Amino acid sequence: MPVFRSRVDSWLILLVLTPMALALWKTGTLVFQRPDGEAQVAFVVSVLAIAFLAWTFLDTKYVIEGESLRVQSGPFRSRIAIATIRRISPSSSLLAAPALSLRRLEIDYGKYDTAIVSPKDQSGFIAALQAINPAIELREFGKAAVVVMAVLVSGLLLAPSQAQAQDELLPTASTSWVLIAESNRDAVRMDTTRLIDYGDYVGVWLLLQRRRALRDASGRDLRGSAFFEELDCPNLRSRRWEIHALGPLGNVVDTAVVNSSAWIPFTNHPVGQPAMLKACELLASIRR
C-alpha cells in the first residue's frame, strides 16, 4: 500500500501558524488578566484551531489502496478510482486543496472532476498511478519545461556532496551516487539506492554534472540538473518522468514533469550513449 506524503512549503507553515500562535498567546493572556467566560471560550477556540491545523499538516497524504487513490488531509477524506483518472498536469493553483505546497499536480478524473495534490515524490506518485492505469496522460509544465530541458542538455553541476544532502531534490537523503561517466568537463552519476524495477525496464535517478555554472536569462546561477527516468536497456532507449534544475546550494529552482510516452534512443540522449550503456551495465550487476 504505497503512501505518498505531501510536500510542505515552509512559508505556508509561517503564513498559517504564525497568526494562530499570536491569537493563542493573546487569548491566553486575556484568560489570566480577565478570567471570564468570553476569554476562556476564545482561548479554547484558538487551541482547537491550532490542533486542527497541526493535524492537517501532519496527516496530509495520498495512499494507493488496490485500484483506488485515497486523498487524506486531517479529518478530510476522499477516494478516486484510479481507472477513471484521465490526466495529470503540473499546477500552481492557489485554490484550497489537500496540498501543502504550491508545487502541485492536478488530477483530472471521471467526466469533469479534478483533485489537486502535492506529493513530495511526484515521480514515484505518477509512476505508481500509471502502473495501475497506463492510459493516464501527462501534461508538461510549459515554460518551466523548456528552461529545465536547456539545463539538462547543457549538462550542469553542483558538487556531488551537495546533491546527496538535498531532501528537496530526492525523496530520501540516504542516496549513493555512483559515477558512470566522466570527462574533463562533466560527469554523470546514478543513484543506486532508488531503483524501481518494472520488469522490462528500470526507473532510476541520474545526476548530470559540470564544473562551471550556467546563468539563465533571469540571472540565476544554475549549477546542476537531476532527473528521474526509465531505462529500457534491452532496446537501448529511455524516457523521462521528472527533471529538476538546481541552484548553487542544490535547491530546486525549476521542475518539469515530462510526458514520458515517447522513448528516446540512447544515441540521442543528452548524456551520451556510453554513459547510458554504463548505467545499464551497473543495473545488470545490481539486478543479478
CA distances from 251 to 34, 71, 88, 101, 154 (A): 48, 28, 24, 15, 18
pTM: 0.46
Q: How confident is the model at residue 40 (pLDDT cuts 50, 70, 90)?
A: confident
Same structural domain, 160 and 82: no
Residues 21-35 pLDDT 10s: 777 777 777 767 776
Provide the number of structural domains found in the chain.
Answer: 2
Residues 112-166 pLDDT 10s: 788 999 998 888 888 889 888 888 887 654 433 333 333 333 333 333 333 333 3
Estimate the share of the chain in helix, then strand, then coil, as percent rounded to the nearest 5: 35, 35, 30
C-alpha span between 132 and 80 (Å, rounded): 13
Boundaries of domain holding 226: 143-287
Same structural domain, 123 and 211: no
C-alpha span between 116 and 2 (Å, rounded): 18
- List the grid coordinates of 202: 528500470
Residues 168-193 pLDDT 10s: 443 333 457 888 988 877 788 898 88
Among 76, 54, 43, CA closest to 8:
54
Q: Name residue 206's amino acid.
A: L
Domain boundary among 92, 116, 139: 139
Same structural domain, 20 and 155: no
Domain boundary among 139, 172, 206: 139
Helices 37-58 and 10-33: crossing angle in degrees, nearest 10, is 160
Domain boundary among 121, 139, 157: 139
The stretch 201-227 carries a mean pLDDT of 76
